């Protein structure tokens, strides 16, 4: 991917090269991914503090979510910018999802979003007091991300040493669990004809 992996994945789903983007990152929806699959893990649990919490798989359909909230894709991007994205961590202080939704709907109509509406919105929330990067640059990165059509999808066996080096060496996963998972990926000989 030329820039963001989530943007490239969203592009691939839009082109029907994949069915959904599997990610925890909601920015994927801002990039226009038609479907986002979250919480995909065998244990259906995530670490939280000292313990874990149950996290069943979740499928977010962008068109359904936009319709339920009465939003356009552009309004969703603006809402995301107010509450925080990978490009402006934490969002605008004092603005949560409800207030952001209200502000976006007040300043930007669903039909024919213009720079005037966006400009008024970001002036009202005093964007420049919170972020050095211009709001328009962040908006452009989300609305028109750098993606490529120059890719090929090829499935091959994982590089076990690289998996161990990254997951165990860098991220301190359990060696036994990772080796057990890798063993499940290794095809087993089914019979004598497997030699030919």
For residue range 103-156, what is the model confidence (pLDDT) as tens digits? 999 998 766 557 888 999 999 999 999 999 999 999 999 999 999 999 888 888
Q: Could you tell me which residues come within 8 angstroms of residue 167 by beta carbon, excluding any fewer than 6 positions away?
A: 173, 178
Tokens of 154: 């090829």
Domains and CATH numbers, the chain: 1-69 (no CATH), 70-145 (1.10.150.20), 160-189 (no CATH)
Segment 48-106, tens digit of pLDDT? 778 777 888 899 999 999 999 999 999 999 999 999 998 899 999 999 999 999 999 99
The DSSP code for 48 is: E
Residue 185's pLDDT band, with cuts at 50, 70 and 90, is: confident
Distance CA 71, CA 24 (A): 22
Angle at CA 3, nearest 5°, toward 101 and 44?
Answer: 65
Provide the Cα torsion 24, 29, 35, 40; round to 10°: 0
Distance CA 7, CA 95 (A): 25
Q: Which of 137, 142, 123, 23 has the alpha carbon at shortest distance from 75?
A: 142
């Amino acid at each position: 991917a030329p820039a963001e992996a989530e943007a490239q994945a969203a592009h691939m789903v839009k082109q029907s090269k994949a069915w959904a983007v599997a990610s925890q990152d909601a920015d994927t929806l801002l990039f226009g991914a038609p479907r986002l699959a979250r919480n995909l893990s065998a244990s259906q649990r995530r670490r939280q503090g000292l313990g874990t919490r149950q996290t069943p798989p979740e499928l977010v359909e962008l068109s359904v979510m936009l319709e339920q909230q009465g939003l356009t894709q552009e309004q969703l991007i603006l809402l995301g910018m107010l509450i925080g994205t990978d490009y402006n961590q934490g969002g605008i202080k004092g603005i949560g999802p409800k207030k952001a939704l209200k502000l976006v709907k007040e300043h930007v109509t669903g039909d024919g979003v213009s720079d005037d509406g966006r400009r008024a919105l970001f002036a009202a929330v005093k964007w420049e007091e919170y972020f050095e990067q211009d709001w328009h640059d962040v908006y452009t990165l989300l609305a028109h991300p750098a993606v490529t059509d120059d890719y090929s999808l090829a499935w091959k066996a994982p590089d076990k040493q690289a998996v161990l080096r990254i997951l165990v060496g860098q991220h301190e996963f359990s060696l036994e669990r990772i080796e057990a998972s890798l063993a499940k990926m290794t095809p087993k000989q089914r019979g004598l004809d497997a030699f030919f």
